[in-house]
Chains A and B, each alone.
Chain A
Amino acid sequence: MTTTSTSPAAGVGNYLDERIGASKLTKTFARKIFPDHWSFMLGEIALYSFIILLLTGTFLTFFFIPSTGVTTYTGPYIPLQGQEVSEAFNSTMKLSFEVRGGLLLRQIHHWAALIFVVATIVHMFRIFFTGAFRKPRELNWMIGVTLALLAIIEGFLGYSLPDDLLSGNGLRIANGIVLAIPVVGSYVSFFLFGGEFPGEAFIPRIYTIHVLLIPGIMLALITFHLILVVVHKHTQYPGPGRTNDNVVGYPLFPIYTAKAGGFFFIVFGVTTVMAAFFTVNPIWLYGSYDPSPIGAGAQPDFYMGFLDGAVRLMPGFTEITAFGYTLSLNIAIAALVMPGIITTAAIAYPAIEAWATGDKREHHLLDRPRNVPTRTGLGMMALTFYVLLWISGGNDIIATHLHASINDITYSLRALVFILPPLVYVITKRICLGLQRKDREKVLHGRETGRVFRTEDGEVFELHAPLSAEDRWLLVQFENNYPVELEPATDASGVRRPHGLLDGMRQKLSRFYFEDRVEPVTPAELVAAQHHGHEELSASGGDKPAVTAGAGTSTH
């Protein structure tokens, strides 16, 4: 290979190669293969929103004054003229009304924050339902959970910075929650706010946390998140030619350079359209924060909705006063314990499932959600719980819009958060098993052609066409998991094995996951089905494969 060319590109290439080994880096990374699927863009949306947030946020800092010092509003917005407002609020007003493009960038920043959290949560559910969190990606899943938590905190702090009436009341609620921390609550509150709420210290403090500390941590975690994606290579959906040992797709350069690079501009562009035409967080309607007034229908940004909803649902009698101390379980359970449990469950989930399967292999092929009915059911159960809490956060809005009683809505939601998630679990699992049976049916008897025949005897049947090997592969490729077998509590020489109790739990868990299952069609079954011929096939749907129960009755 000659490098004597004198073109500018060659010059740059040579410069970089001699200093950072660019040719080796190019060889390693430029042709890296990534698989293609629309659901892989969810994480991209989150990543690009984060970059948009860094860019627009930097612009906002040029104008925003993080201070609660009191000043008089003299700007162009007539309804607030002459009012005493904080510097933070005043500078946000000035940024919105008097800086060209200020309102646009502020609204891009706010919309991008909302899109960032939505994309993160939906991305997480994609990972969950397809089993992309399995070995070797458990650590990356944990990083992801941490990022989602940080995103919510970061969003709430940014929302609080303009010091408007709506966000101020949100901070007041946050202070109420802090006060509910057992034993140390009032101390934590005084240390956070530099004294009594609202104080003058909080806005400048959260400003530093919002623009420096949390974005810094998130940037580091995102970098690590992406490095691990490269190290593991991206997961792929099952299909003909796709195996656990390969990755099928397109090269980073030039295909994904153009597609993913272009997608950044599309995400940025769509966010800009929203900012140009849809108002978000109109602080001029709320005014500067004052602890006495409040607006009806107070709503936080959507990502705090589930937390607010949980706080709304808890009945007041759960606050306990004893021995001269008050334990506000009505707040603590909803705002401290519940998020703690959700986070712990999310972080622990990959390990729990791996324990139940006893599977220590690496997984690079994604699951079709129907092929893992229990996991899909659990995911839908969690999603239902989350959505119900989120709806609870808007119970007042629902009441006013539907002219329904706020009390009835709240009582119903209190019951529904316990009833609906398990119900959704059962229904989802049944739907998954049904879909799997349909897959079996299709493999065994072919796809419906829509061509109906009548025989000389008057019997009517529809002609079924056998599937191509490619089409069939998608329906039969999945792994067949069985509940783990319990080893006897004592070994051959009669010595009790350690961890007997744990093994029992493990078997129960494993049965919970895999007792009900539909097994993939085997070549032998297909051949047998084909020899039955069409007569039986047209008779009825009565030859559905039964859901096998227990480990011992498999078809092998």
Chain B
Amino acid sequence: MSNNNDDHDDAEITPHEQQLPDRFVNPGLPAHQHRMADTDPKAAKRAERQVATLFTLSMAGTLLLLIAYFAVKLEYADLSFYEAANRLRLSNQLLGGGLAIALLGIGAGAVHWAKTLMPDEERVEYRHMQRGTDEERADAVSILQQGADESGIARRPLIRNTLIGAMALFPIPALVLLRDTGPMPGNKLSTTFWKTGMRIERDQPGGGALKASDLTIGSVVHVMPEGIEKTEHPLEERAKAAVLLIRLEEDLIAAEAEPGSYHGIVAYSKICTHVGCPVALYEQRTHHLLCPCHQSTFDVTQNCKVIFGPAKRPLPQLAITVDAEGYLVAKAPFSEAVGPSFWERG
């Protein structure tokens, strides 16, 4: 690079010459440096062959994809689990590999062509500022004024005001029309499927009622109220009614949880009081319940009080007892809303 455009700021200037500019001056574009392919026809030919090779590779990639599409069929009859998985993986890798080669061949070829063989002299284009000239601005203003005058909007305020009114009212239907997107919440957020005397069943296909003897000390069972699968909206009911049944040493149960427990067995809502994830992780040694979403931690021995994390309220307890046949049942429905907080919850 040479100082081709360099002007008056070199070392020859002495402080006695008082004509130094305040700031340095832009030296202008440096001289262009030629590439190999610009000066050496062999290099240019080589670049040409490289580009052509990349484009040819792309064609091969497309062929690979076509062959893979018809050769690897996604039919799994008589295949074991692992054979089936391998078949799918093979198909995915061959189709993807072929497509990738097809795409990368075109892309790399085009870029290589541009970088080696197309001219690389920088060009200069001049900008014009966004602002119009004073004349253009005056013209624009007068056009708008003339248009406004022609419309008569200033002279006829009745039209203007009624138009404003119409435009102000017209979007309201857009909001009103959304009213029927859902019913009013009513008390649905505060109630669950649990009713007094309802049997407690395992949360698994087929259910299965539980007796106190089914739970050893330290065990935890995910449970649902009996009959929840037969409701009209089982997912919505399950989203609220999920409960964890835990058996502790009887003396570990907090005094306020005692009346709702049965021989060391306590039942708590599984729906986190933070934003509603299932609080599914139970640490047997510490008796802590942990929510895997945001790590709110509840201490079962303190009536599921929050001991860590973003939740505020304890998990609501479901009071339980046994029925005449010895099956665990709900002693009463939940006495408060389960799950995340909401404004009207209080």
Q: Which residues of A contact B (CB under 8 A)?
A: 32-33, 76-79, 97-101, 103-104, 107-108, 136, 169, 172-173, 175-177, 179-187, 189-199, 201, 231-233, 240-251, 254-255, 258-259, 261-270, 272-273, 275-277, 289-298, 308, 311-319, 321, 324-328, 330-331, 334, 362, 364, 395-396, 406-407, 410, 466, 468-473, 476-477, 520-524, 526-528, 530-531, 556
Contact = CB atoms under 8 A, between A and B. Distances in A.
A364 B339 CA distance: 54
Given A99-B74, A186-B342, A187-B184, A176 B276 contact: yes
Determine chain B's interface SS by DSSP, over half rule: loop
Interface string B255-277: 00000000000000010001111
B292 A296 contact: yes
Contact of B343 (A186, A258, A267, A528): A186
B181 interface: yes
Contacts of A251: 123
A98 B118 contact: no
Contacts of B313: 319
B29 A266 contact: no
Interface of B: 1-3, 5-6, 8-9, 11, 13-15, 20-24, 26-30, 69, 72-74, 76, 79, 81, 84, 88, 91-93, 95-97, 99-104, 106-111, 113-115, 118-120, 122-127, 129-130, 178-179, 181-185, 188-189, 203, 222, 224, 233, 235-236, 238-240, 242, 270, 274-278, 280-281, 292-296, 306, 308-313, 339-346
B309 A185 contact: no
Given A243-B26, A245-B127, A321-B346, A197 B239 contact: yes
Contacts of A328: 312, 340-342
B38 to A, nearest CB: 14
A527 B22 CA distance: 12
A264 B9 contact: no
Given A187-B184, A315-B310, A176 B274 contact: yes
Contacts of B224: 292
Contacts of A241: 26-30, 122, 124
A266 B96 CA distance: 14
Contacts of B185: 186-187, 189-190
B233 A262 contact: no
Contacts of B203: 292
B275 A276 contact: no
Nearest to A190: B182
Given A266-B104, A295-B292, A527-B14, A290 B238 contact: yes
Nearest to B309: A316
B310 A312 contact: yes
Closest CB pairs A-B (n = 9): A276-B96, A176-B275, A262-B110, A265-B107, A241-B29, A269-B104, A269-B103, A291-B239, A266-B107
Nearest to B294: A312
B23 A469 contact: no
B96 A523 contact: no
Contacts of B178: 191
A45 to B, nearest CB: 12
Given A232-B130, A317-B312, A527-B14, 13 more contacts: A76-B76, A100-B69, A179-B340, A258-B113, A263-B107, A270-B104, A276-B93, A292-B270, A294-B280, A296-B280, A308-B294, A312-B294, A472-B24
A197 B235 CA distance: 8
Contacts of B233: 196, 199
Nearest to B99: A272
B122 to A, nearest CB: 5
B295 A395 contact: yes
A78 B81 contact: yes
A175 B277 CA distance: 10
Contacts of B81: 78-79
Nearest to B100: A272
A249 B96 CA distance: 36
A364 B127 contact: yes
Nearest to A292: B242
B78 to A, nearest CB: 11
Given A195-B236, A196-B236, A328-B341, A311 B15 contact: no
Given A269-B103, A269-B107, A527-B15, A173 B275 contact: yes
B189 A186 contact: yes
A76 B84 contact: yes
Contacts of B306: 316
7 contacts: A172-B277, A249-B122, A254-B114, A315-B310, A328-B340, A328-B342, A531-B15
A469 B240 CA distance: 74
B23 A520 contact: yes
B122 A103 contact: no
B198 to A, nearest CB: 17
Contacts of A276: 92-93, 95-97, 99-100
A57 B322 CA distance: 54
Contacts of A101: 69, 91, 95
B93 A259 contact: no
A88 B106 CA distance: 36
B287 to A, nearest CB: 16
A172 B239 CA distance: 9
Nearest to B23: A522
A466 B11 contact: yes
Given A136-B130, A262-B114, A290-B235, A326 B100 contact: no
B309 A176 contact: no
Given A196-B188, A296-B281, A362-B129, A470 B1 contact: yes
B343 A326 contact: yes
A316 B274 contact: yes
B274 A104 contact: no
Contacts of A292: 203, 222, 224, 238-239, 242, 270, 278
A372 B156 CA distance: 53
B182 A201 contact: yes
B104 A265 contact: yes
